[in-house]
Amino acid sequence: MNVTIVDYNSGNISSVINSFKEVAKDKVNIEVTSDLTTIKTSDKVVLPGQGSFKSCIDGLNSINGLIDTLNEFALESKKPLLGICVGLQMFADIGYEETETKGLGWISGKVSKIDNQGGKFKLPHIGWNEINIMKDSKIFKNIENNSHMYFVHSYEFVPDDKSVILATTDYSTNVVCAAEKENIFGTQFHPEKSDKIGLKIINNFISL
């Protein structure tokens, strides 16, 4: 089985690569590439995201045909795809970080700044926080509710359809921290930085 981590110049993704390789060991082939043919023929794809919404979308657009290939993989072939941090946010129709930027439009919604209640909550939201699991998901198999995950973000994904929400975390409001729509999964937290529980989520995704 091949799992491809999409490399599109979105910042340092070495921890994502290392964690997936640690979990996969020799059982699964982990590729890190922006090669369209490799992505198309993969069994599963991981879309990391470091930096701003705009910089990540610009990164995808900088590789000719990459967005079309990802659309084909996720929407037509309906193979499993996992977005991490801004990787999840880009599923939205639109994002408002830096400037208004069109997203991938896979899960209807928007990405807006966390309401920090006039400075009462520090932004970015950095560190460990509990997740409140809203419904069963294969990627949360054997993950206990109120597990702690590692976060680094100032913006949140606000989906139109609340049924796609897998988990929230309490930071000024209930911030969506995981979503699922059919074969498309996303986490706002960083499983690759969330110790053994995060590795379990990575293993769950690889095992789908």
- Kindly list the structural domains of the chain, giving each domain's residue range(s) and its CATH number in brackets, ordered by start: 2-206 (3.40.50.880)
Q: How far is CA 156 from CA 33, 52, 176, in A?
A: 27, 12, 7
Identify the H or E element spanning 42: none
Q: What's the Cα-to-Cα distance from 25 to each of 20, 30, 58, rounded to whole Å?
A: 8, 9, 32
The mean pLDDT of 103-125, rounded to a whole number, is: 96
| pLDDT, position 51 | 93
Q: Model confidence at 84, in pLDDT bands (50, 70, 90)?
A: very high
Query: Euclidean distance between the first and final Cα of the chain, in Å?
Result: 11
**Annotated catalytic residue: which of 31, 56, 180, 190?**
190
**In the chain, what percentage of residues exceed pLDDT 70?**
100
Name the residue among 197, 179, 195 with its Cα closest to residue 187: 179
Determine which one of 31, 56, 85, 125 is catalytic.
Answer: 85
d(C-alpha 66, C-alpha 58), whole Å: 11
Average pLDDT, the chain: 97
CB 115 within 8 Å of CB 132: no
Q: What is the DSSP letter of 144?
A: P
Query: Over 90: is that where the pLDDT of 81 sits?
Result: yes
Section 117-145 average pLDDT:
96
pLDDT confidence of 18, banded at 50, 70, 90?
Answer: very high
Mean pLDDT, residues 18-32 taken together = 95
Cα angle for residues 90, 93, 94 (degrees, 5° grid): 80
Catalytic residue status for 177: no
pLDDT-derived band at 36 (thresholds 50, 70, 90) equals: very high
Q: How confident is the model at residue 95 (pLDDT cuts 50, 70, 90)?
A: very high
Question: Binning pLDDT at 50, 70 and 90, where does residue 40 land?
Answer: very high
Cross-strand partners of 6: 33
In this prediction, residue 10 carries a pLDDT of 79
Annotated catalytic, 192? Answer: yes
Q: What DSSP element (H or E) covers 204?
A: helix 195-206
Residue 87 predicted with pLDDT over 90: yes
